[in-house]
Structure 1
């Protein structure tokens, strides 16, 4: 016959092992989320730099085409102002919010989705 203490010890070791496995899985998912978030911030910063230099280039180009030192910058600024107004007016749009949330969710949690599909 099996002793009760052996059964209890076996159950304890199984539970301990399972808890350690869950801790490791949570840690891996957390580190994955953090690394993808850092990557997203770096990509955003680089995108802003590219946008800045393209905007300056466009402003200088338009200034030379219109032969005025400020018209190019004014037109580029006006474009961004119109874009800002459109985004401000659409800030409560469910379609825009769902697309942004879906894109961020897919980027940040993509590894977790792939794991679930594999299982």
Structure 2
């Protein structure tokens, strides 16, 4: 005859094991998301440096072409000003917001999506 105490202990063990598995999955997903965010910051920083040096190079080149020490920098500044104006005009665009959101979700949660696809393929196959 089964004892209720043994059944309760078994159920407790199963629940504790499941809680441990869920905790581990949450930690793995958090670490994955955090590492992708850190990578995104590093990539963004490197791109900023690239744009900085390209902007300076273009400004110096345009200064030589126009034979004016400040005209190249003024032209580059005006180009950036036009870009900022275009961004301000399109900031409320739902389409632009959706594109940015989709891009960030795909970049940050890519690991999770791949894992889900692999699990679905294993279930089907």
Give TM class, smaller chain. Answer: over 0.9
Distance 1:62 1:28 in 2: 50
CA offsets per residue over residues 56-80 of structure 1, 9 Å max, x none? 0000001111111111111100000
Distance 1:84 1:117 in 2: 39
Partner of 1:42: 42
CA RMSD of aligned residues (A): 0.7
Unpaired stretches in structure 1, ≥5 consecutive residues? none
Moved over 4 A (4+): none
Partner of 2:123: none
Distance 1:4 1:116 in 2: 39
Q: Does 1:88 align with 2:78?
A: no
Distance 1:116 1:8 in 2: 34
TM-score, length basis structure 2:
0.93
TM-score, length basis structure 1:
0.97
Unpaired stretches in structure 2, ≥5 consecutive residues? 120-125
Distance 1:79 1:39 in 2: 29
Partner of 1:20: 20
